[in-house]
């Protein structure tokens, strides 16, 4: 079994994963934040794209479960000499990996690796497709804050077209009972949202007073996001979360961002540092959620 997408995952399974993450957060709060659940298992982190949060939190999660960890970065590896994705994955399996965590710029790469190796794979972000553990850590952060996602009104704002986070969060949040509105200029909205249970608008100011959660996204320059609107100042003037816009949100509303943040573009300093900006809670929850996923996939019964 692999964890490749949040799309189509039943609510019950998402809630079980969140419950398990809650338990692992309690483990992480102990003086010795470690359990022997995955002793003897080897987790391989295969990162073909850059990462800070996801990579480090998967490593922390595996070690907190007492698994061994093997880290692979494309830069500096034989992939730079032309070794194929398949040969790289088979090599990592031959080195003893029990599970692979995969980030790749190509949508579908984690699924291919799962098929080639027969090992469980966790998708740590594939192109503009999915980043399911991000969706789950965001759902956990909202559940902690609001007690549940039922009836929550969430605006996902920014470069939705190129965002794997948006795709994971739409399906996780709506399965857990939230309503989602996509907010972006037309050129940054997905070509089609057929089958997505969402509304869409290009008017951020029009929805500010009606949302519980504003989920901000970075412009994905590496996937062409900067080329589809006239200028960055124009984007900021219509979609940047300034202090003025923040002050027009309902009093209990919160701001989330998956990171890395572009301060002064999609989020101002004054908002990023506000107690109702939950960015670092999201990061911290990433460890517990990834522990829950690794524990589930590596057969951590008992």
Task: Centre a 10 Å sphere on the Cβ of residue 31 and count the other Cβ atoms it contains.
Answer: 4
HEC secondary structure over 194-247 = CCCCEEEECCHHHHHHHCCEEEECCCCHHHCHHHHCCCHHHHHHHHCECHHHHH
User: Which residue from 17, 253, 258, 296 is in contact with ligand CP, where contact means CB under 6 A?
Assistant: 258
Whether 81 is catalytic: yes
When asked if residue 125 is in the footprint of ligand CP (CB under 6 A), the reply is yes
Q: How many residues can be counted in the chain? A: 302
When asked if residue 135 is in the footprint of ligand CP (CB under 6 A), the reply is no
Q: Which is nearer to ligand CP, 35 or 255 (CB)?
A: 255
Q: Please report which helix (H) or strand (E) contains residue 272, including its range.
A: helix 269-272
Locate 27 and state its tokens.
């483990």
Q: Which is nearer to ligand CP, 71 or 237 (CB)?
A: 71
Task: Centre a 10 Å sphere on the Cβ of residue 120 and count the other Cβ atoms it contains.
Answer: 21
User: Which residue from 39, 52, 78, 237 is in contact with ligand CP, where contact means CB under 6 A?
Assistant: 52
Whether 131 is catalytic: yes
Name the closest residue to ligand CP (Cβ): 54
- DSSP type of residue 124: E
Q: Of residues 104, 131, 161, 162, which has the active-site annotation?
A: 131
Whether 257 is catalytic: no
Q: How far is the CB of 84 from ligand CP (least distance, A)?
A: 24
Whether 181 is catalytic: no
- Which residues form the interface with ligand CP (CB under 6 A)? 51-54, 125, 134, 258-260
State the catalytic residues.
Answer: 53-54, 81, 103, 131
């Amino acid at each position: 079994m692999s964890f490749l997408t949040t799309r189509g995952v039943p609510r019950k399974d998402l809630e079980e994963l969140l419950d398990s993450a809650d338990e692992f957060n309690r483990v992480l709060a102990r003086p010795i934040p470690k359990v022997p659940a995955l002793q003897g298992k080897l987790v391989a982190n295969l990162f073909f794209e850059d990462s800070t949060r996801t990579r480090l939190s998967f490593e922390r999660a595996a070690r907190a479960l007492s698994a061994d960890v093997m880290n692979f970065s494309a830069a500096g590896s034989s992939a730079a000499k032309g070794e194929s994705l398949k040969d790289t994955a088979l090599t990592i399996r031959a080195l003893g990996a029990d599970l692979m965590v995969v980030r790749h710029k190509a949508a579908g790469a984690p699924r291919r690796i799962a098929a080639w190796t027969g090992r469980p794979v966790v998708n740590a972000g594939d192109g503009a497709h999915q980043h399911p553990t991000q969706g789950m850590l965001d759902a956990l952060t909202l559940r902690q804050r609001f007690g549940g996602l039922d009836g929550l009104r969430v605006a996902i704002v920014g470069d939705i077209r190129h965002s794997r986070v948006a795709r994971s969060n739409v399906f996780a949040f709506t399965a857990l009972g939230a309503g989602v509105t996509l907010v972006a200029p037309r050129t940054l909205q997905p070509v089609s949202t057929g089958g997505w249970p969402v509304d869409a608008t290009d008017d951020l100011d029009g929805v500010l007073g009606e949302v519980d959660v504003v989920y901000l996204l970075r412009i994905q320059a590496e996937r062409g996001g900067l080329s589809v609107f006239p200028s960055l100042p124009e984007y900021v003037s219509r979609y940047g979360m300034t202090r003025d816009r923040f002050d027009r949100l309902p009093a209990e509303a919160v701001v989330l961002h998956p990171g890395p943040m572009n301060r002064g573009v999609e989020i101002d300093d004054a908002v990023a540092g506000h107690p109702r900006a939950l960015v670092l809670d999201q990061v911290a929850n990433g460890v517990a959620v990834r522990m829950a996923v690794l524990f589930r996939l590596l057969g951590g019964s008992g």
